[in-house]
């Protein structure tokens, strides 16, 4: 049975590289740029009856724009426990006479930020928006477009939320680390790494502890994967000991991280495969030999594309999360 990899955990090495440049310091609020590393994601509920789906998408985009403007948007594809969620109240809706007639809407758009997993609201603010369109949907969209991404009240709300999020990590750091350890103990390495990587850099002490833990979890992950893939490669080779078997075994060996504990055995098996098929058709053997010799080059190739790997890793995280916003409004 072949193992299905999520995305190379080399993305985690990128995060570890970030950690090496972070000075060991006490927890503090840091600079505004540091605070921007906290992740808040937009979340739109079905709270408004008959709220058009296209308008909902526009509202989600508007919140993402606001969060980006304030340097706090979550990375693409990542789920976050910290959310910005809106609630819309229609203050008035009128049909404006004309040819053709238009719809005019006055909205109160309240924004809430908090811990969506634990259901804790950190703060809220409301803005008013007007929009006119040829139909109700377009009136909604026009009103939402008029909300400024530089709104001072919303910016103040975000600043308040930043401080509360830092407090959360400072107060719950040991629990977060223990949860990650439990995930790793159940071989849920990617989930453990994602949990540890979610600790923002501005929470200095907790961030450094999380980065240290990332190293041990990463090693445990690649060591387990090495054992599994090496066993599969060995069985593949022993099943035929011909070119087809060599090809299958080589494809498995090429997935193993060179830093894993069993990599010496990987090299030993590759030498065995070379010796076992050295007398076959020269052209086909050259292909197999080239693949075997490329094993040590894989790490360099992956590191050269570390940005793409990190993005792919993020996109593989769960995108559907059930949030608890009961009692927020």
pLDDT tens sequence across 265-321: 998 998 898 888 765 555 555 656 665 655 545 544 443 333 343 344 455 655 567
Picking from 30-39, 92-101, 105-114, 241-250, which range would have the lowest pLDDT averaged per residue?
Answer: 30-39
pLDDT tens sequence across 68-89: 998 886 654 556 789 999 999 9
More confident residue, 29 or 294: 294
Specify whether the backbone of 82 is left (phi greater than 0), alpha (psi in -120 to 50) or beta.
beta
pLDDT tens sequence across 235-276: 999 998 888 898 899 889 988 888 889 999 998 998 898 888
**Closest CA relative to residue 8, chosen from 252, 228, 311, 229:** 311
More confident residue, 201 or 283: 201
Token readout for 50 is: 């008959």
Question: What are the extents of the domains in the chain?
Answer: 14-173
In CATH, which of 3.30.160, 3.30.460, 3.40.30, 3.40.50 is domain 14-173? 3.30.160
Q: Count H helices and E strands in the chain, helices first.
A: 12, 4
Token readout for 139 is: 């009136």
**Closest CA relative to residue 148, chosen from 114, 125, 164, 115:** 125
């Amino acid at each position: 049975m072949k193992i299905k990899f999520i995305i190379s955990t080399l993305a985690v090495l990128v995060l570890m590289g970030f950690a090496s440049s972070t000075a060991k310091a006490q927890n503090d609020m840091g600079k505004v740029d540091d605070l921007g590393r906290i992740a808040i994601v937009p979340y739109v509920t079905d709270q408004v009856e008959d709220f058009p789906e296209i308008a909902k998408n526009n509202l989600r985009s508007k919140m993402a724009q606001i969060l980006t403007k304030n340097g706090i948007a979550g990375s693409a594809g990542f789920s976050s426990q910290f959310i910005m969620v809106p609630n819309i109240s229609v203050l008035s809706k009128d049909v404006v006479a004309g040819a053709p007639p238009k719809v005019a809407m006055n909205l109160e758009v309240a924004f809430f930020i908090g811990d969506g997993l634990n259901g804790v609201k950190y703060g809220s603010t409301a803005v008013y928006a007007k929009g006119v369109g040829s139909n109700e949907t377009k009136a909604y969209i026009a009103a939402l477009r008029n909300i400024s991404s530089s709104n001072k009240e919303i910016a103040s709300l975000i600043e308040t939320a930043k401080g509360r999020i830092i407090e959360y990590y400072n107060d719950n750091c040991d629990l977060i680390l223990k949860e990650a350890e439990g995930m790793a103990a159940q071989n849920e390495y990617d989930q453990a790494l994602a949990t540890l990587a979610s600790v923002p850099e501005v929470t200095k002490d907790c961030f450094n502890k999380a980065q240290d833990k990332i190293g041990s979890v990463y090693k445990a992950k690649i060591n387990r994967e090495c054992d599994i893939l090496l066993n599969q490669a060995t069985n593949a080779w022993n099943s035929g000991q011909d070119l087809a078997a060599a090809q299958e075994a080589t494809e498995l060996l090429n997935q193993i991280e060179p830093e894993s504990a069993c990599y010496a055995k990987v090299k030993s098996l590759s030498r065995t495969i070379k010796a076992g098929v050295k007398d076959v058709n020269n052209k086909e053997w050259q292909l197999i030999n080239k693949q075997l010799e490329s094993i040590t080059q894989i790490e360099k190739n992956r590191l050269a594309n570390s940005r793409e790997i990190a993005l792919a890793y993020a996109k593989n995280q769960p995108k559907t999360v059930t949030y608890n916003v009961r009692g927020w409004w």
